[in-house]
Amino acid sequence: MTGQQARVSTELPAVLDGFDLTDQERFTDGFPHEVFVRLREEAPVLWHPPGTTVDGEGFWVLSRHADLKAAAEDPVFSSKGGGGREGGGTHIDDLKPGVHAGSLINMQDDPRHRMFKDLVSPPVARQAVEARLPQLREVAARLVGQALARGRVNFQPAVTAPYTIECVGRVLGAPEADMPQLIEWGETLAGFEERLSGKVNRAATETQYAMYEYSKKLIAAKRAAGGPPADDLMSVLAHRDIPADRGEEPLSEYEREAFFCLVLIAGSEPPRNALATGILALAQHPEQWRALRADRSLLPGAIDEMLRWSTPTPYNRRTATRDTVFRGTEIKAGEKITFWWASGNRDGSVFDDPTTFDIRRSPNPHLAFAHGTHSCLGEQLARIEMRVLLEELLDRVAEIRIDGDVTWAPSNKHTVILRMPVELVRATAA
């Protein structure tokens, strides 16, 4: 089927069996893996009609692991936009240029994207994050201790949300006294109160504005401190810039200020959701939790399996900058292409027994951090955050028992557990 033929119909293709990928309500039981089994087998490059999109446009759906990697490496597919399209970005619906597309680091293209990423990478490199281990362990120990004292707790959001927000707040360079405010903002934007509706509410809009104003003040404070930049992200952005000889304009003040808002959420939500979904899987497979407690050498593999299993960001959108042919399918300039990483992470041609959670899985070439130039800036931070919290739990918790219904958010963009009531059985030596 050519791209032109595919675009004729606005009806859902039979292969989707009535499942509209734009309908957030269809995601209230978690990610629809069964739908993508059929897509990988029958329609790995699928034209999806507009569905419930705001702009009334259809989009391409990629679902196979190999195709996702190939498309992510192809510069014809832009995170910014292009192909005659005014908007762009990484969501199915267009985001405004200059506000999101082209200004946020994850919605830029190389070479500017690479230069921006290189500039801010040192504070989130493995060595830099490892240097913060005492801080991260203190946060993990405090929150796990509070949860153990209660015994029964909503692990998400009571533990994972404040933990990941506080961790990324420290890496951003926010003062410790501001952490309660950052946690409040992060939880508001994560939508723990309103996400069941799938809508952005007034509180979230006001919070975004407050965060932006805070970011401006934080940058000003970092600049006023003088001297060489400290080892945090906002100090780097306050004092450094893209090298003048690289053929790119200097970073705008808006790019610097918006970076804080992006990283506070994008740097906390994926690890928070990977932890919640992964710990749910460990609670559902208690023999694997016991194996981890007995042998910590299994922990790196367990973290990778939690990431594969959860895929915190199920898809990213790109835009075709020109007419192209991908896997024999014509894709026109300006058309949207969605990369469904969650589908690639259950591709049976890559993963043996992909529907089984297995902390001993090896190899595990998952795509939870995406792939190519837009692979996650905070991968090392996320891995270390997950390791520290898991180590604290393994030291002090003998068993994790699900203690009620688990509630998922109606979201196709993020794999979100809103409520996960658990009982934590204290280890005898804890």
* pLDDT tens by residue, 177-235: 999 999 988 877 765 444 444 455 677 788 888 999 999 999 999 999 987 778 999 99
* pLDDT tens by residue, 372-405: 999 999 999 999 999 999 999 999 999 999 999 9
* pLDDT tens by residue, 69-114: 999 999 999 999 999 999 999 999 999 999 999 999 999 999 999 9
Q: What is the mean pLDDT of residues 300-317?
A: 98
CB 24 within 8 A of CB 411: yes
DSSP state of 249: P
Q: Which amino acid is at 85?
A: R
Instruction: Please tell me the distance from the alpha carbon of residue 105 to that of residue 169, in angstroms, as a whole number.
Output: 18
**Residue written as tokens 């790109």?**
318
CATH number at residue 368: 1.10.630.10
CB 129 within 8 A of CB 384: yes
* pLDDT tens by residue, 236-285: 999 999 998 888 999 999 999 999 999 998 889 999 999 999 999 999 99
pLDDT of residue 79: 98
pLDDT of residue 186: 82
Arithmetic mean of pLDDT over the chain = 93
pLDDT at 7 over 90: no
**318: β partners:** 337
**Hey, what are 328's tokens?**
């024999």
> Comparing C-alpha atoms, which of 305, 270, 285 is closest to residue 415?
270
pLDDT at 4 over 60: no
* Number of domains the chain is built from: 1
pLDDT of residue 190: 63
Long-range contacts of 112-115 (CB under 8 A, 24+ apart): 112/242, 112/248, 113/79, 113/373, 113/374, 114/373, 115/242, 115/243, 115/246, 115/248
pLDDT of residue 189: 73
pLDDT bracket for residue 428 (50, 70, 90)? confident
**Residue written as tokens 């939790």?**
289
* Angle between helical axes of 253-266 and 269-284 (0-180°, round to 10): 10
Q: What is the mean pLDDT of residues 169-173?
A: 95
CB 204 within 8 A of CB 194: yes
Q: Which pairing describes strands 336-340 and 59-62: parallel, antiparallel, or unpaired?
A: parallel
- Please enumerate in sequence order all residues whose Cβ is within 8 A of that of 348, keeping only pairs 6 or more positions apart, or say none: 40, 354
Buried b (16+ CB within 10 A) or exposed e, 86-115: ebbbbbbbbbebeebbbbbbbbbbeebbeb
Instruction: Please tell me the distance from the alpha carbon of residue 155 to that of residue 418, in angstroms, as a whole number.
Output: 10
What is the separation of C-alpha 185 from the centre of its chain, rounded to a whole number of angstroms?
17
pLDDT bracket for residue 9 (50, 70, 90)? low
pLDDT of residue 191: 56
In sequence order, what E strands does 50-92 have? 59-62, 77-78, 81-82, 85-88
What range defines the domain where residue 394 resides? 3-426
